[in-house]
Amino acid sequence: MSIFLTRPELPFCKGCGHHHVVRSTVRALEAMGVRPTDVVLVTDIGCHGIVDGHFATHTVHGLHGRSVALAAGIAMGLPPGKKVIVYIGDGGATIGLQHILEAARMNVDLTVVVHNNMLYGMTGGQPSSLTPRGFRTAITPDGSPLPHHDLCRLVYDAGASYVARVLGVGDFSEVLRQALEVEGFALVEVLELCTSYGVKWNPGLRLKALAEETGYTLGVWTRPPRPVFRLRAVAEKPLGPRGVGLLDLPPVEVRFSSPLEGRWTLILSGSAGEGVQQAAEILARAAMAAGLHVTKKGSYPVTVGVGFSTAEVILSRSPIFYHGVHEPDAVVITSMDGLQDQQDRIRGMRRGVLWLDASLPTPETGMEVRIRDFRGHAGARYAALYAVWTVLQETGTLPPAALLETVRGSPLADRIPVKMF
Ligand code: SF4
């Protein structure tokens, strides 16, 4: 059995074209000599997606039509040499067409394999926008009245480096290998028949004849190499022809240490526009600089300029597999908006420490309450950052120097009044 599979059998109906896609993918990867740990397979919703557990690579299961966006984020953050593959059906490609076009336009380094059996197989055989005119489906018994999109043409015109359309029968691993070896965006559209629905409603159908009759031209379309889109933090420096990027967050180097043994959770809540998320991000990067694992989540109303702004931060000595915070160790409130947002949580808490701005009423709680004059000392704009500084000073969770250095390295450093610390 291949090192890329966890078991020899596959979960698809007998005769389904998905078998050939998986077997050809495995052959292509074997021919390239890559390791399973160098491969990330991102699947979409559809029968093809059940294959996740059968692959010994990294696997991620996306929402319907969103797998290419998910994979693009992964690919942008990986160094050259890793292989990101998307498995998506014609239904998912229809739903997420703009994600595919954008990834092609940006030339993100990934390979999309479209399982085009010309219908939504998992939900009973409804037509997608890749269903050709005349093809009968569950809701078009007389044949689809509309022509299909030429996905390969759309994607090529959007800027893809490599595009191919093949019949999904036998071994087409050579085309997949070519696509995977391209540095940049590649898409292989595999024409298949769903034996459970496509054949049922279109008896006697032959795939090759269908492709010819409906204008599904087979072939490979390529263009000369052009820059690949990567985040600057992972691209080669200086950015040369191998990469372009929009984000410029420098990588975090571990230069400090933390006495934290287990996990420490913090809720920081204040008003929109008063730097709550920025303060939490600075804390997160400072914790990374102290060698900790970190998650940070933000929540705020849709109208981001008014109301509350709340951040949840988890610091941990070991990897974080669940980023929910139910009973935080620390709650920091810097304004009335924050207090109102967190009042139910605070009322129900029986442990932990609440740091509360001196301008606020003290709520009922089982937490230890510490009143501090964050707003009076640092002003509304920097009360949250000063509160984080205060908490670190009082708990010793991180060396305050780690926070200070992170502030100095921030793109906004020249605006933050460091003398307040
Ligand atoms: S329902 Fe169709 S697409 Fe799904 S596994 Fe069966 S043959 Fe394949």
Query: What distance in angstroms lies between residue 92's CA and the mean position of ligand 1's atoms?
Result: 15
Q: Residues 285, 251: contact at Cβ < 8 Å?
A: no
The label of the residue with tokens 């490609």 reads 93
Q: Quote the pLDDT of residue 249.
A: 58
pLDDT in the model for residue 233? 55
pLDDT at residue number 244: 46
Rounded distance from Cα 124 to ligand 1 centre (Å): 9
Give the separation between CA 316 and CA 263, rounded to whole angstroms.
4
Residue 234 pLDDT greater than 70, yes or no: no
171 CB neighbour count, 10 Å cutoff: 12
Looking at the domain 263-420, which fold is it? Answer: Pyruvate-ferredoxin Oxidoreductase; domain 3 (3.40.920)
Cβ neighbours for 394, distance < 8 A, ≥ 6 positions apart: 370
Mutate-to-test residue for ligand 1 from 10, 13, 192, highest number of ligand atoms within 8 A of CB: 13
Domain with CATH 3.40.920.10 in the chain: 263-420
pLDDT digits (tens, 9 = 90+) for 134-157: 999 999 999 999 999 999 999 999
3-state helix, strand, coil in the chain (%, to 5): 35, 20, 45
> Which atom number of ligand 1 is nearest to the Cα of residue 89?
3
- Ligand 1 neighbours (beta carbon < 6 A): 12-13, 16, 18, 47, 117, 121-122, 194-197
Are 22 and 66 in contact by the 8 Å Cβ rule? The answer is no
| Position 238 confidence tier, pLDDT thresholds 50, 70, 90 | very low
Q: Give 283-318 pLDDT, tens digit per residue.
A: 999 999 999 999 999 999 987 789 999 999 999 999
Is 1 or 295 the better-scoring residue by pLDDT?
A: 295
399-413 tens-digit pLDDT: 989 999 999 888 777
When computed from its CA atoms, the radius of gyration of the chain, rounded to whole angstroms, is 26
DSSP codes, 65-112: TTHHHHHHHHHHTSPTT-EEEEEEEHHHHHHTHHHHHHHHHHTBS-EE
Q: How far apart are CA 408 and CA 402, in angstroms?
A: 10
For residue 195, the ligand 1 atom closest to its alpha carbon is 7
Q: How far apart are CA 80 and CA 95, in angstroms?
A: 29
pLDDT higher than threshold 90 for residue 241: no
Of the given ranges (43-47, 89-93, 304-308), which has the lowest mean pLDDT?
Answer: 304-308
Q: CATH 3.40.50.970 residue ranges in the chain?
A: 18-222
The one-character DSSP state at 228 is P
Q: Whose CA is nearest to atom 2 of ligand 1?
A: 194
CA of 46 to the centre of ligand 1 (A): 9
Architecture of domain 18-222: 3-Layer(aba) Sandwich (3.40)
Closest Cα to atom 6, ligand 1: which residue? 13
Helix (H, G, I), strand (E, B) or coil at 264: strand
Banded model confidence at residue 346, pLDDT cuts 50, 70, 90: very high
In ligand 1, which atom is closest to the CA atom of 117?
A: 3
Q: Which amino acid does the sequence have at 369?
A: V
Give the separation between CA 207 and CA 412, rounded to whole angstroms.
59
Please give the pLDDT value at position 390: 97
Instruction: Report pTM.
Output: 0.70
